[in-house]
């Protein structure tokens, strides 16, 4: 039963991403893509609409919003997990003994947190209490947890309190996540309060690493938190030669 339930959740996440990519989808299209019956798809669409993730239409569904769309952390967990782990492994190589780093909230940075026991004498500043819980078990990692208003469903804090604490700190490196990234607009996220927290994290770091899987490339969310020029190193799972060249021309090191 647990396996069946997990498969259903994975399918619904896939449906949301399919609709997000294509802007809309019909029931027959989704039946073909996910190899299930029309009754199953209709039931999934009904539940997804109730969750506020899509809008059902006659014969199918459409994306609810373009720039404000955001999966919760729980919904993200099964999406592109292999790619996120590979990105985290590359990011780990950029961390040196004695570093003080910022770990932004997100599923990819959480994967990086799981690997930090492999490093010695690391201090981590984070607003993600799931990441803090992971790091608490590691003797070699010191943790500074940024407080504030809890953003429910995302395991993190936002708001003025956290920004004030961050503004008084300086770190060697910041490892940032993003919901969307494009060369023209930079890095963005659907929530404006979250964007403000990310801006402060970037402001206190000597070197900025953006961890961004290829599904977010060329897209834009509501609130920008970094221009392309703010990023020193871009870590991803896949990027075309043409786009890599554009990034390098903008002065960004690309690690794939």
From the first residue on, what is the mean pLDDT of each consecutive set of 10 residues in the chain (256 residues)?
A: 58 85 88 93 89 83 61 49 90 97 95 96 97 96 96 89 95 96 92 94 98 87 93 95 94 95
How far apart are the C-alpha atoms of 252 and 243, rounded to whole Å? 11
Residues 189 and 172: their CA atoms lie apart, in Å, by 24
What pLDDT is recorded for position 207?
98
| Backbone φ, ψ for residue 130 (5° rounding) | -70, -45
- Torsion of Cα atoms, 207 then 208 then 211 then 214, to 10°: -120
Cβ atoms 181, 215 nearer than 8 A: no
**pLDDT number for residue 146:** 96
The pLDDT assigned to 225 comes to 97
Domains along the chain?
Answer: 2-64 (1.10.10.10), 74-255 (3.40.50.1360)
Helix count and strand count (H, E) for the chain: 10, 15
pLDDT computed for residue 71 by the predictor: 52
Structural element, H or E, at residue 34:
helix 27-34
* CA atoms of 61 and 53, how far apart (whole Å): 10
CA dihedral sign of residues 68, 173, 74, 18: positive
């Amino acid at each position: 039963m647990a396996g069946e339930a997990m498969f259903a959740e994975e399918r619904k996440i896939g449906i949301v991403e399919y609709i997000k990519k294509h802007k809309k989808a019909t029931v027959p299209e989704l039946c073909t893509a996910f190899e299930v019956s029309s009754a199953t798809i209709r039931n999934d669409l009904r539940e997804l609409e109730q969750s506020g993730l899509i809008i059902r239409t006659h014969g199918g569904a459409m994306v609810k919003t373009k720039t404000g769309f955001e999966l919760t952390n729980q919904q993200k967990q099964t999406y592109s997990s292999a790619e996120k782990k590979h990105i985290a492994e590359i990011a780990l190589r950029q961390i040196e003994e004695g570093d003080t780093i910022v770990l932004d909230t997100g599923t990819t940075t959480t994967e990086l947190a799981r690997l930090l026991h492999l490093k010695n004498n690391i201090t981590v500043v984070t607003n993600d209490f799931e990441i803090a819980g992971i790091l608490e078990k590691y003797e070699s990692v010191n943790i500074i947890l940024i407080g504030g208003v809890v953003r429910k469903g995302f395991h993190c804090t936002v708001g003025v309190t956290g920004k004030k604490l961050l503004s008084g700190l300086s770190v060697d490196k910041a490892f940032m996540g993003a919901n969307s990234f494009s060369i023209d607009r930079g890095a963005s996220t659907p929530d404006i309060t979250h964007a403000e927290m990310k801006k402060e994290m970037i402001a206190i770091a000597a070197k900025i690493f953006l961890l961004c899987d290829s599904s977010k490339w060329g897209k834009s969310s509501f609130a920008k938190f970094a221009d392309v020029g703010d990023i020193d190193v871009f870590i991803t799972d896949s990027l075309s030669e043409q786009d890599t060249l554009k990034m390098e021309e903008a002065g960004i090191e690309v690690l794939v």
